[in-house]
Structure 1
Amino acid sequence: MAVEVILPKWGLTMEEGMVSEWRKQEGDAVAEDEIIADVETDKITNELPAPASGIIARILVAAGETVEVGTVLAVIAADEAEAARIQSGS
């Protein structure tokens, strides 16, 4: 089952963040809690861990893009077959 990677709220005043770098790309395998991206806020840069193990099926927010807290940044698929379905849009 696919898991959404959501921009968390790291501080009381945080409203948005910018994905400064994706450390993993579509098709890469990841382990739960492995750092997959760096996100800049108005105060600091945070490391974004994977919420689950699997394969990065789709990155929805490009590096350099600023989005609101709660935005889905990427989708992690459980296996290669599911990743292929997500990437093909099925």
Structure 2
Amino acid sequence: MAETIAMPKWGLTMEEGTIVEWMVGEGDTVQKGDVLAIVETEKTSVELTSPFSGVVARVLVADGETVPVGTPLLLLASSPEEAAQLR
């Protein structure tokens, strides 16, 4: 089953974040704890790490895009076959 990775809230006042750079692309296999992207907030840049192991099925937010906390950023599938179905 695919998991949705959303823009986290790293601070009490954080309302949005900007994807500075994706470190993974569609089809890449990631392990729990791998860096998925660099996210810039109003105060700092933070590494967004994967809470799950899997295959990146779809990137939903482009580099440079600013989105509110809670916005889906990418879909992480449990297998390459599932990832292919979600593209």
Tell me the TM-score normalized by structure 1: 0.95
Is 1:3–1:51's contact at 8 Å kept on the other side of the alignment? no
Q: Unaligned stretches of 5+ in structure 2?
A: none
What is the DSSP-based 3-state SS (H/G/I as helix, E as strand, rest coil) of the residue aligned with 1:73? strand
User: What corresponds to 1:38 in structure 2?
Assistant: 38
Structure 1 residue ranges (4+ consecutive) displaced by more than 4 angstroms after TM superposition: none
User: What corresponds to 2:27 in structure 1?
Assistant: 27
What is the DSSP-based 3-state SS (H/G/I as helix, E as strand, rest coil) of the residue aligned with 2:74? strand
RMSD of aligned residue pairs (Cα, Å): 0.5
Q: Percent identity?
A: 52
Tell me the TM-score normalized by structure 2: 0.98
Q: Unaligned stretches of 5+ in structure 1?
A: none
Distance 2:54 2:76 in 1: 6
Is 1:58–1:75's contact at 8 Å kept on the other side of the alignment? yes
Q: Which amino acid aligns with 2:7?
A: L
What is the DSSP-based 3-state SS (H/G/I as helix, E as strand, rest coil) of the residue aligned with 2:14? coil
